[in-house]
Amino acid sequence: MVQINFARKEINCKIVYYGPGMSGKTTNLEIIHKKTPDENKGELTCIATEGDRTLFFDFMPLNLGNIMGMNTKFQLYTVPGQVYYNSTRKLVLRGADGIIFVADSAPDKMDENLESLRNLEENLREYGRDAQDMPIVIQFNKRDLPEAVPLGELQEKLNPRKIPTFEAVAKSGDGVFQTLKALAGLVIENLNRTTRKEKGTRATESLEPAPGSGRRIVTADSPPEVESSGQSGGGRIPARRPIPVSATANAEAPVNSPARRRGVAGRPALQQDAVRSSGANAGAERAELTAPVRVPSPRVSPAPDRKISRDLSAAPRRGMTVLLVVLGIVVAAAAVFFVSRG
């Protein structure tokens, strides 16, 4: 599993040397550690068991490029070769970013090579990983043996998937760094591919509108939207698709015009009627879409409390008028009475 140290701008990748016991895994690491400059390597750590050893150290190459502007550091591990240390094998294999399978070229080691290769695939499956999707190379070690198995036979039995292979003599250093450099390049290439894929996924997810946000992704096939100010909901309604120019031109042309004859001629009667009716409907639809929406202003009736207040204020005036009329009649009657007596 890749580990990123942002403070040091380093990406740590894990490479595991896998293979049968005594095939040369430990020798590979010892040669690499011995010939690597001190500033590019960490301390070689050894975990000794009763029948085998597990070694690991940090290794930082200078000529393998970088990822996202960060230097790449590799942690190199070996696993125990004996079958009864399978639990330790699985523990060391966990989180590996690349694997170098070291095969023994001795004729009597072929069965152990096959068993160790099957064990590698089983342990990867237990971690939910597929050997075909991982950066893996095979190193055919001990090619200096007089009775070494021919290269063609090793390829046929140990490399059916045709992954990269390298011949080596680990004790003298031949082929050791070539194998490591090839796998390190595959690991970096795989990390770059994964990084690009993740960036593309995040970009696609960022375009997805949030549920209930009212946003949408507009593509070439998406219908346009028209603002609807006259709708009670105040939302958007999808507009009808634009009408082809040829159809509108034929629909708007006079019946006997050349354009109308070219657009309608040669079609059955039913299709001609459909073209004419669709042209007329198209014009009506365009007029309907382009016409401004008029919203009538509502009538405002006078408030009832105002009417009541006006009635109450007019009542005193009507009472005063009646009183004055009555007084006038009384005064007139009195005057007539006194005149008749005198």
What phi and psi, each to the nearest 5 degrees, are found at residue 11?
A: -115, 120
Q: Identify the three-state secondary structure at position 248.
A: helix
For residue 102, how far is the Cα from the chain centroid? Answer: 39
* Position 340 in a domain: no
Q: How confident is the model at residue 11 (pLDDT cuts 50, 70, 90)?
A: confident
Asked if the structure places residue 222 within a domain, the reply is no
The answer on 259 and 135 residing in a single domain is no
What residue type is assigned to position 104 of the chain?
Answer: D
- For residue range 285-339, list pLDDT tens digits in order: 555 545 554 545 555 555 555 555 555 556 666 777 878 888 888 888 888 777 7
**Has residue 177 been placed in a domain?**
yes
pLDDT for 290 equals 52
Residue 7 lies in a domain: yes
Tokens of 242: 């634009």
Output the DSSP codes for 143-161.
TT-TTPPPHHHHHHHH-TT
**Are residues 170 and 271 located together in one domain of the fold?**
no
Please give the Cα distance from 271 to 279 (Å, whole number): 12
Q: Do 16 and 145 have their domain in common?
A: yes
pTM, full prediction: 0.58
Instruction: Examine residue 312 and state whether it is found in any structural domain, yes or no.
Output: no
pLDDT at 72: 84
| 309, part of any domain | no
What is the predicted pLDDT for the residue at 32? 92
In this structure, the answer to whether residues 186 and 266 fall within a common structural domain is no
Q: Are residues 155 and 26 in the same domain?
A: yes
Residue 147 confidence (pLDDT)? 95
Query: Does residue 145 belong to any structural domain of this protein?
Result: yes
> 257 and 132, same structural domain?
no
121 lies in the same domain as 183: yes
Please state the φ and ψ torsions of residue 106, each to the nearest 5 degrees.
Answer: -70, 140
Task: Find the CATH number of the domain harbouring 50.
Answer: 3.40.50.300
Helix, strand or coil for residue 185?
helix
pLDDT at 59 over 70: yes
Q: What is the pLDDT of residues 117-167, one digit of tens each?
A: 999 999 999 999 999 999 999 999 999 999 999 999 999 999 999 999 999
Q: Is residue 267 part of a domain?
A: yes
Question: Is the pLDDT at 47 greater than 70, yes or no?
Answer: yes
Both 176 and 254 in one domain: the answer is no
The count of domains in the chain is 2
Q: Which domain holds residue 258?
A: 246-281
Pair 75, 16: CB distance under 8 Å: no
Q: Are residues 166 and 38 in the same domain?
A: yes
Nearest to 103 by CA among 81, 123, 88, 83: 81
Residue-wise pLDDT tens digits, 167-221: 999 999 999 999 999 999 999 898 888 877 776 665 555 545 555 554 454 444 5
For residues 81 and 197, state if they share a domain.
yes
- Rounded CA separation 318/315 (Å): 5
Chosen domain end from 229, 254, 281: 281
